[in-house]
Amino acid sequence: MIARKDGAIGWITLDHQERFNAMSLDMWQALPPLIAQWSQDADIRVIVLEGAGDKAFVSGADISEFETLRATPEDVARYEDDVDAAMAAVAGCDKPVIAMINGICMGGGVGLAVSCDMRIASDHARFAVPAARLGLGYRHSGVRSLVNLVGAAAAKEIFFTARQLSSDEAAQIGLVNRVVPRDELRDVTRDYCTMIAENAPLTIMAVKQTIAEIQQAPGEFNAARCDSLVFDCFASEDYREGRRAFMEKRKPEFKGK
């Protein structure tokens, strides 16, 4: 896994090219502390996850480890806890996280992409969740995240058929936000990051957390938390800066305060 900062963008490259960037246990475990570190970095406004090379985003979990790391029910539970923690770290990050998807995106790769806030894919990308072909079980957290994104009917088709979806099909069902030509993927993703980085961080954080609350299971929605986030936005220096910039007909300079 390679991490680098580029201005307001934090790039995380998932690098396991000999296995089409399949996620090893070490990679799953490395993701939460890195996300936490960049969540606290005021210079970073948006994070991008990408796969190394041009053949895959993430081809899933590294199945070659399953014989040793998922041999018993107890092993499986521990492994799945680490995967869930990685997904939760991405989904729960205060800052927007974008999945830049080129090539194969399968199994745990789809789960990781779904955990991100936006997904920008090349016209070369392919998506599938082949759990039914391997006899794997899927935890409710992963199923719920996919249902929240694409709806129950599309999620059932993805799981039941285990077939590959083209990037255009993925866009039609809402699995990805945008499909672009392969050679434009990085530039388009960078343009989105620039647009996001220029906006008010507190507003973005409040909206992200409010949407997460709305998508909670029945009875878990915290309206008071959402109201508090809105209050924080209106009490911020950024809100005052936004008003002044509008009146002065200039571009605002937000500080996240």
Inter-residue contact 168 to 179 (CB < 8 Å):
yes
Average pLDDT over residues 237-255: 70
In a domain, 255, yes or no: no
Mean pLDDT of 151-158: 95
Q: Tell me: the pLDDT tens digits for 11-33?
A: 999 999 899 999 999 999 999 99
Instruction: Give domain status of residue 213, yes or no.
Output: yes
Beta-carbon contacts of 166 under 8 Å, excluding residues fewer than 6 positions away, are 125, 126
Residues 155 and 241 in one domain: no
> 12 with 59, same domain?
yes
> Would the pLDDT of 99 be above 80?
yes
Tokens at residue 71, please?
């041999």
Residues contacting 74, CB < 8 A, separation 6+: none
- 31 lies in the same domain as 53: yes
pLDDT at site 192: 97
Q: Are residues 108 and 216 in the same domain?
A: no
Strands (E), the chain: 2-6, 9-14, 46-51, 56-58, 97-101, 104-106, 118-122, 126-128, 165-166, 178-180
Domain interval for residue 220: 200-247
Q: DSSP letters along 20-45, please? A: TT-B-HHHHHHHHHHHHHHHT-TT--
Residues 137 and 221 in one domain: no
Half-sphere exposure of 207 (CA within 13 A, CB side): 10
Lowest mean pLDDT among 1-10, 54-63, 137-146, 147-156: 137-146
pLDDT of 109 higher than 80: yes
The per-residue pLDDT for 225 is 65
State whether the Cα torsion 36-39-43-49 is positive or negative: positive
pLDDT in tens, 225-239: 666 665 666 567 775
Whether 214 and 191 share a structural domain: no
Share of the chain above pLDDT 90, in %: 61
The 10s digit of each residue's pLDDT in 41-97 is: 999 999 999 999 999 999 988 888 877 877 788 888 888 899 999 999 999 999 999
φ/ψ region of 249 (left if φ > 0, alpha if ψ in -120 to 50, else beta) reads left
The reported pTM is: 0.87
Q: Is the pLDDT of residue 162 over 80?
A: yes
Q: What is the mean pLDDT of residues 139-149?
A: 88
Q: How far is CA 197 from the centre of its chain?
A: 17
Model pLDDT, residue 74: 84
Can you give the pLDDT at residue 71? 74
